A and B are shown apart, each in its own frame.
Chain A
């Protein structure tokens, strides 16, 4: 089977764009990715679109209405916070299978503000605040408390994740925020769901990102100078675990995806130069250091204390600013992660460049659950 390459990839600066439509936002990123690849929409043989909140609204076709209706097949994907990564993976599979030589994946979301999850539904009376809480800040607070229970991880250690990622975002002009948030500021911010304060929750923003993928034959023909090789693409759902009916298990499906991804890529976590992982809440990032094998079980607290995951550390994590500060437009996030890692592998990340980056990993997890892991490799 052919290797698959990213030839073009880009994202808009994340922000709040209520005056624009979802297809308009998606179209912007699609055109940017095509420009980055030096290609036109007429060169694309299929489009894979990731969008969650308008999953029934044919967003991919409407993106084409904005940039050129060429009659190509369009697949619209919805997979919670793994939506963008799922669209990217569908594109990867089509190339891998030899069906097409050039395709585009677009991820886009318009978010609005406020709490996610816990809306209830079902019959009878609302359960939120009566049978505990299903809000996302609480779900991930409880997941973090499981780590505290096992290893003594502290509120301060969780908060340090947010300090780090906000610091990283000051170096990323495409992040929603570019502000430093010192530890006291993070810990003293409004408590949302202990131990997650407001600054430890990802930012709801609007955004879009897109990637042009190519077969090896096509990539060689067009030039590999800035190409990035997709070494692994893995998607998992959540295997049964004892508590997962009341406590979504983000660990098991991540571990399963990571294991398969390292096998497929033929490398181990120690060979990674950088990681963009799903820091939807500061607590989550700590869990995923261990889930992705960046450290041994129980060592994640020490890892953040020692700055090992900061830019300049042993394995920089979320140098983009992460979901905590770059922002988290659900359907765009997975492809925005691919953009970040690709930019480092190309040596084009400016002030936040991870030196000599060769392999990078992206990770997203959507509750329900879906986990996607991609491993990318520098080519030239």
Chain B
């Protein structure tokens, strides 16, 4: 049953994760051509300046820096803890939230401002139809 309903490749975990037929997956933003604000996802007009018809899709960088984080010790049933919830500012614009992996969940180890890279992996969860998903993670960049 799962086989029948499943798509061929993994689906994107969020709409702003793009999986091209050829080439590497990436995160997509929309940039207002007038005020340069960058958004994740589409909108009717620019949230910042209200300009209509001025949002262009842009490929966001896979490099950035850790802005802030929290170490989550209590979550909903079935979610493995602890993990690091991180807010990352990407080079060239765009801020994304995700799990920071490849580092101990320890405030003494995690430095705000540290260089981060975005990596793409199959998510450890499937949906009710058995579809697989491609997700992104952050990891420290040397």
Chain A interface (Cβ < 8 Å from any Cβ of B): 115, 118-119, 124-133, 135, 137-138, 141-143, 145-146, 148-149, 155, 190-196, 240, 242-243, 245-247
A131:B135 contact, CB within 8 angstroms: yes
Answer yes or no: B60 CB below 8 A from chain A CBs: no
Q: How far is the CB of B67 from chain A (nearest CB, A)?
A: 7
Asked if B139 is an interface residue, CB under 8 A from chain A, the answer is: no
User: B14-43 toward A: CB 8 Å interface, digit per residue (1/0)?
Assistant: 100000000000000000000001011100
Please tell me if the beta carbons of B87 and A194 are within 8 angstroms of each other in the complex. Answer: no
Contact between chains at B85 and A133 (CB < 8 Å):
yes
A128 to B14, CA, bound (A): 12
Complex alpha-carbon distance, A145 and B107, angstroms: 11
- Contact flag A145-B69 (CB < 8 Å), given A131-B135, A240-B37, A245-B39: yes
CB distance B95 to A243 under 8 Å? yes
A-B contact pairs, 28 of them (CB 8 A): A115-B74, A127-B14, A129-B80, A130-B98, A130-B124, A130-B125, A131-B13, A131-B135, A135-B72, A135-B76, A137-B70, A138-B72, A142-B70, A142-B85, A145-B70, A145-B112, A146-B67, A192-B73, A192-B74, A193-B74, A194-B72, A194-B73, A196-B70, A240-B37, A246-B95, A246-B97, A247-B67, A247-B95
Task: Give me the 10 closest cross-chain CB pairs, A-B, nearest first.
Answer: A132-B85, A141-B70, A129-B79, A246-B97, A194-B71, A145-B68, A133-B85, A240-B48, A132-B97, A243-B95
For B, the interface residue count at a CB cutoff of 8 angstroms equals 44
Interface of A is mostly: loop
Q: Is B75 on the interface with A (CB-CB < 8 A)? A: yes
Whether A191 and B123, one on each chain, are in contact in the complex, defined by CB atoms closer than 8 angstroms, is: no
Instruction: Give the interface centre of B74, B80, B86 by most chain A CB atoms within 10 Å.
Output: B74
> Which of B87, B99, B113, B127 makes the CB contact (< 8 A) with A129?
B99
Say yes or no for B126: interface residue by CB 8 A criterion.
Answer: yes
- Asked whether, in the complex, the Cβ of B95 is within 8 Å of the Cβ of A245, the reply is yes
Contact B87 A133 (CB under 8 A): no
Question: B70 and A193: CB pair below 8 A?
Answer: yes
In the complex, A70 Cα to B85 Cα: how many Å? 52
User: A115, A142, A155: which contacts B76 (Cβ < 8 A)?
Assistant: A115
Q: How far, in whole Å, are A253 and B116 apart by their CA atoms in the complex?
A: 30
For B37, the chain A residues whose CB sits under 8 A away are 240, 242
Instruction: Please measure, in the bound complex, the distance between the C-alpha atom of A51 and the C-alpha atom of B135, giving whole angstroms.
Output: 37
* Chain B residues closer than 8 Å to A242, beta-carbon distance: 37, 95
Q: Which of chain A's residues have a CB closer than 8 A to the CB of B79?
A: 128-129
With a 10 A CB-CB cut-off, give which of B11, B47, B73, B127 has the most chain A CB atoms: B73
Q: Within 8 Å CB of A195, what residues of B?
A: 70, 107
Seed contacts A146-B67, A247-B95; 9 additional CB < 8 Å A-B pairs: A115-B76, A124-B14, A131-B14, A131-B99, A131-B136, A142-B87, A145-B69, A146-B68, A242-B95
Q: Would you list which residues of chain B between 61 and 117 have a CB under 8 Å from chain A? A: 67-76, 79-81, 83, 85-87, 89, 95-99, 107, 112-113
A130 touches B74 (CB 8 A): no
Whole-angstrom distance between the Cβ of B34 and the nearest chain A Cβ: 13
| In the bound complex, CA of A329 to CA of B20 (Å) | 47
Contacts A124-B13, A149-B113, A245-B39 given; does A129 touch B70 at CB 8 Å: no
Flag whether B120 is at the interface (Cβ < 8 A). Answer: no
Shortest distance from the beta carbon of B131 to any chain A beta carbon, whole Å:
8
**Which residue of B41, B113, B123 contacts A130 across the interface (Cβ within 8 Å)?**
B123
- Which one of A115, A131, A148, A190 has the highest number of Cβ atoms from chain B below 10 Å of its Cβ? A131
A343 to B11, CA, bound (A): 57
Q: How far is the CA of A148 from the CA of B76 in the complex (A)?
A: 27
Q: Which of B47, B95, B97, B123 has the most CB of A within 10 A?
A: B97
Which residue of B is nearest A192, CB measured?
B74
Question: A69 → chain B, closest Cβ, in Å?
Answer: 41
Q: Is the CB of B68 within 8 A of A142?
A: yes
A115 to B75, CA, bound (A): 8
Bound Cα distance A126, B69 (Å): 20
Chain B nearest CB from A364 CB (Å) reads 23
Of A130, A142, A155, A246, the contact of B69 (CB 8 Å cutoff): A142
CB distance from A293 to the nearest CB of B (A): 24
CB-CB under 8 A from B99, the residues of chain A are 129-132
User: Complex formed: what's the CA distance from A133 to B47 in Å?
Assistant: 24
